Structure 1
Amino acid sequence: MSQQKVVVGMSGGVDSSVTAWLLKQQGYEVVGLFMKNWEDDDDSEYCSARQDWIDVVSVADLIGIDLEAVNFAAEYKDRVFAEFLREYSAGRTPNPDVLCNAEIKFKAFLDHALALGAQTIATGHYARVRETPEGRFELLKALDHTKDQSYFLHRLNQTQLAKTLFPLGEMPKTQVREIAAQIGLPNARKKDSTGICFIGERPFREFLNRYLPTQPGPMKTPDGKVVGEHIGLAFYTFGQRKGIGLGGSKDGSGEPWFVAAKDLASNTLYVVQGHDHPWLLSHTLQAGNPSWVAGVAPAAALACAAKTRYRQADATCTFSALGTSQPPGGHFALNFRDAQWAVTPGQSAVLYDGDVCLGGGIIEAADSAAPLTRAPQQAALLTPRPAA
């Protein structure tokens, strides 16, 4: 009987490299696939694609697997980057890694792998897939909760999960590093990437300004006092502390300033002092554009847990459907036992039942004391603006 063929998404990092080695050790016919998703500034000091490709080639040669490169830059710009700019221009803070996984890494990549004759794909994500006795597939947190990436994978569906392997979901990151060193991978000590999937480690505000114009406006306190000027609402996110341009208070309290609200109609940015200011705390939120791993929404009034941002502890809450909550439309509400800090429109609210990721949606509003931030969708440019 022929070996089962698996195509591994290889980024040049240690996680995907160890994933490929593990699967080969398990008897799979492994093919590495290097995805190029961004090419607007290939020669930039912040674009690591060239070095990543060199690392992938070295790893594939060492472990003895075939390797292919594919360019998904057009799909990425159309499916991910366009939405990224639309959200920022509307005053929200999107999470492009979530959309990239759903649209590129587990859609365009999966389609390409199947066309190559593969039965499954694999990535170096820290998560797990479990098949139930009824033949459904569940997305689970990684055993190493400090590295769990199920938050970024919550929009995957049954078809995608049925054909995906996450070999690293069963082991701690320390063990992955140890394996890489033991087998002599050339990238065993390579630093983990922490940047947004296409932006990398570059200065974010500088990057965003290449595509969105600055629109200065007043920076005010909740009582309406003007304390400064912002460069454009798109360049700030709820809970932001650094880069606001304000020091301690003039009354000597020294409490740090945080971004707490945006009024798009008047182009006003509201800032507050103190981490626990009422404008930064919310007990309920509303989310839209839901995606449920099982294909159906959770039961009404479900007691569960949720994250409103990555690297946040699970927060106990109650789920309630608002109207028709089946994909692709619908909305839902989450009511939290404890107030959540800086709930941010545009980010994902992801639901969990223990280690099982149920899915989630895009945060639209929260119940803080701050004014509601809403704005119509705006067209966004996909090419950098001309330099001044």
Structure 2
Amino acid sequence: MSVPRTVVGVSGGVDSSVAAWLLVQAGEPLAGLFMQNWDDDGSGECRAEDDRRDAVAVCGRLGIPFHFRDFSKEYWAGVFEHFLAEYAAGRTPNPDVLCNREVKFKHFLDAARELGAERIATGHYAQVARAGGRWRLLRGADRDKDQSYFLHQLGQEQLAATLFPIGHLPKAQVRTTAREAGLPTHAKKDSTGICFIGERDFREFLGRWLPARPGEIRDPHGVRVGEHPGVFYFTLGQREGLAIGGVRGRAAAPWYVVGKDVAGNVLYVDQDRDSPWLLSRALRSETMHWIEGAAPAREFDCAAQVRYRQQEEPCRVRVDDDGTVSVRFARAQRAATPGQSLVLYDGPACLGGAVIDSTDAPVPGVQERA
């Protein structure tokens, strides 16, 4: 068996299938590798075996070797334990960011090199370019599918050894290519949500590790309006799942989560989607990761996202001595959430990112409404 120059991560989905097909068409010496990142937990919701069969079928259709690696232990230690700790602390983590850093562009890259390959390829909607002697991570051409937000923890070593074959394509063309190439995954539904939860109920899943502890739901001024099953099941700005019925003297309007007091086990809500309790103009991050290895300047203007698929927002960034950043936005941001990722952009180039540590939004139960 010949040694591949590139190992493509085949997930059993249409994006990685087309990525592999494009590389085969380009004459690239190629092998496919399927990563199992989550053990079957007995719920019947884990589709890893179905995905693996689809990945095998794609490699068979393309005539490339198929490899399998079980990274479930690495995923548990590097991603899932952090996920649980963050929720227990009342924050909202983003496991996809850690999965990319700790598994797909670390253990997968190591496995590819063990097979003799020089680099890896994935079906992410992102692009890599080299300028001024440094590697740059660029947005995918399809802005609606761009995944650079989830890749902001990558560095020079990973980008130098990574191909994103579909990053220049719109999703519709990827589907068309898969169908015309006769790939068995051409009509497969895209996966959504957090990979290890799948289509199951999030609250039921999280409750296996963080048992429910009911408590009061209050408005921002401390008036009780209902009861919650556990504050860590909710995130800022959330509307669904509050189960607040008609409250005497209140309008028949939706309620939104505007704050969490984990120590006091209190969930705070308000009936204004753009409640001032949800709005912030400034935030601080945890230690910042810069894709090119350093910040472009001590202070600079750029654009930022505080959630996936958000329209990028103009901001001013100050790099602090401890490696964190302080960011002030040109306009107020809704539901910027500690635990989620702040990702900075200069045009299509992703500069890097960090976990949001805190914002200047008022704190229900502590600060009175301005």
Alignment TM-score, normalising by the size of structure 2: 0.96
- After superposition, where does 1:132-143 map in structure 2 within 5 Å? 132=131, 134-143=132-141
SS at match of 1:289: coil
Q: CA deviation at 1:80?
A: 0.5
Deviations 1:224-280 (A, max 9, x none): 101111111111111110001114553352221011111223121111111111001
Q: Quick one: distance in 2 between partners of 1:69 and 1:86?
A: 30
The verdict on how the C-alpha distance between 1:14 and 1:323 changes in structure 2, with shifts beyond 3 A counting, is same
Match of 1:341 among 334, 341, 355: 334
Other-structure match for 1:321? 319
Other-structure match for 1:239? 237
Other-structure match for 1:287? 285
Q: Quick one: distance in 2 between partners of 1:96 and 1:49?
A: 18
Q: Is the 8 A contact 2:3 2:116 kept in 1?
A: no
Q: What amino acid sits opposite 1:235 in the alignment?
A: Y
**Overall identity of the aligned pairs, in %:** 54
How many residue pairs match? The answer is 365
2:71 pairs with 1:78: no
Match of 1:145 among 126, 143, 146: 143
Deviations 1:317-354 (A, max 9, x none): 111112231xxxxx111100111001111000000000
Q: Is the 8 A contact 1:37 1:76 kept in 2?
A: yes
SS at match of 1:344: coil
2:258 pairs with 1:277: no
2:358 pairs with 1:365: yes
Q: Is the 8 A contact 1:247 1:256 kept in 2?
A: no
The verdict on how the C-alpha distance between 1:68 and 1:372 changes in structure 2, with shifts beyond 3 A counting, is farther
Deviations 1:199-226 (A, max 9, x none): 2121111100011111221111111101
Other-structure match for 2:102? 103
Q: Is the 8 A contact 1:317 1:335 kept in 2?
A: yes
Q: What amino acid sits opposite 1:94 in the alignment?
A: P
Other-structure match for 2:11? 11
SS at match of 1:169: coil
Other-structure match for 2:188? 190
Q: Is the 8 A contact 1:3 1:28 kept in 2?
A: no
Other-structure match for 1:68? 67
Q: CA deviation at 1:371?
A: 4.4
Deviations 1:47-81 (A, max 9, x none): 11111011111111111110001000010001100
Q: Is the 8 A contact 1:307 1:349 kept in 2?
A: yes
Q: What amino acid sits opposite 1:230 in the alignment?
A: H
2:122 pairs with 1:123: yes
Q: Is the 8 A contact 1:141 1:148 kept in 2?
A: yes
- After superposition, where does 1:148-159 map in structure 2 within 5 Å? 148-159=146-157
Q: Quick one: distance in 1 between partners of 2:333 and 2:264?
A: 27
- Listed as ranges, the gaps of 5+ residues in structure 2 are none
Q: What amino acid sits opposite 1:313 in the alignment?
A: Q
Q: Quick one: distance in 2 between partners of 1:50 and 1:358?
A: 37
Q: CA deviation at 1:197?
A: 2.1
Q: Is the 8 A contact 1:122 1:164 kept in 2?
A: yes
Other-structure match for 1:33? 33
Q: CA deviation at 1:295?
A: 1.0
SS at match of 2:354: strand
The verdict on how the C-alpha distance between 1:172 and 1:76 changes in structure 2, with shifts beyond 3 A counting, is same
Q: What amino acid sits opposite 2:353 in the alignment?
A: G
Q: Is the 8 A contact 2:277 2:363 kept in 1?
A: yes
Q: What amino acid sits opposite 2:21 in the alignment?
A: W
The verdict on how the C-alpha distance between 1:372 and 1:311 changes in structure 2, with shifts beyond 3 A counting, is farther
The verdict on how the C-alpha distance between 1:362 and 1:371 changes in structure 2, with shifts beyond 3 A counting, is farther
Deviations 1:24-55 (A, max 9, x none): 111111100000010142x5332111110111
SS at match of 1:243: coil
Q: Is the 8 A contact 1:241 1:258 kept in 2?
A: yes
Root mean square deviation, CA, Å: 1.5
Q: CA deviation at 1:135?
A: 1.8
Deviations 1:347-366 (A, max 9, x none): 00000000000011101111
Q: Is the 8 A contact 1:72 1:104 kept in 2?
A: yes
Q: Quick one: distance in 2 between partners of 1:78 and 1:177?
A: 35
The verdict on how the C-alpha distance between 1:74 and 1:313 changes in structure 2, with shifts beyond 3 A counting, is same
Q: CA deviation at 1:372?
A: 9.5
Q: Which moved more, 1:123-132 or 1:231-240?
A: 231-240
Q: What amino acid sits opposite 2:7 in the alignment?
A: V
- Listed as ranges, the gaps of 5+ residues in structure 1 are 326-330, 374-388
Q: Which runs of 4+ in 1 moved over 4 A?
A: none
Q: Which moved more, 1:222-231 or 1:307-316?
A: 222-231
Alignment TM-score, normalising by the size of structure 1: 0.91
Deviations 1:271-318 (A, max 9, x none): 111111100111111110321101112312211010000010001111
Q: CA deviation at 1:5?
A: 0.9
Q: What amino acid sits opposite 1:156 in the alignment?
A: L
SS at match of 1:100: helix
The verdict on how the C-alpha distance between 1:13 and 1:3 changes in structure 2, with shifts beyond 3 A counting, is same
